[in-house]
A = this chain, B = another copy of it.
Amino acid sequence: MTARPLPEYLVRRYQGWRATTYAGNRPWYRRLAEEGQRPRAMIVACCDSRVHVASIFGADSGEFFIHRNIANLIPPFAPSGDHHGTSAAVEYAVRELRVAHLIVMGHSQCGGVKGCYDMCSGHAPELLEATSFVGRWMDILRPGYEALPPGGDAERVQALEKLSVKVSLDNLMTFPFVRAAVADERLTLHGLWNDIAEGTLEAWDETRAEFVAI
């Protein structure tokens, strides 16, 4: 048998949510369903279970259009006709929903970025194989690895986490509809990096060309 019943503890938590959060906000949920979503921003974050953008930004239902993939990467514009889940999400947010902000958020201790670092420095040959989905996905971050300054491993891995944000912002600007929306001042781009242990955020500062604590 393929699909199984939901674990009991999740059923109970869902029932609790429905009797409280949902019951107390039914009008809002109904209106969201009838009128459709109208999110103010798109957030691109990592799948990591420790990253919780909705909590950090006190988000309410309907507020953020959220795409989460490994290492919060956006590939360069490449309309090849293939399935491009991330590019589709960006296209939908910018062209259809016309979000005003597009925020890319990276984080500390990112397993995907660490894998990329190991792969590029020759310590994870399995990620080089053509059949490694994680390896091929992390190829997007290779230009980041190549731009790393010299230094110790820990330091360079953290620098690469921040570069995953910068590479994504740069790749976003290769999408004609993103470039146009930014030029028309219909969209602003933002880069963040979250330190999980310290609960801090740093933002990419274009003028100083570095990440700066908020």
Contact = CB atoms under 8 A, between A and B. Distances in A.
Interface of A: 1-40, 42, 47-50, 52, 54-70, 73, 75, 79, 81-93, 96, 98, 100-101, 103, 108-109, 111-112, 130-134, 136-140, 169-170, 173, 181-182, 185-192, 195-201, 203-207, 214
B6 A15 contact: no
Nearest to A22: B199
Contacts of A185: 26-27, 30
Given A37-B49, A66-B49, A190-B3, A84 B133 contact: yes
Most buried by B among A18, A109, A112, A140: A18
A28 B101 contact: yes
Total copies of the chain: 4
B20 A19 contact: yes
Given A21-B8, A92-B134, A182-B2, A188 B27 contact: yes
A31 B98 contact: yes
A5 B154 CA distance: 28
Contacts of A19: 16, 19-20, 23
A200 B22 CA distance: 9
A18 B199 contact: yes
A11 B197 contact: no
Contacts of A47: 42, 65-67, 89, 92-93
Contact of A2 (B20, B36, B40, B189): B189
Nearest to A79: B131
Given A37-B48, A136-B81, A88 B70 contact: yes
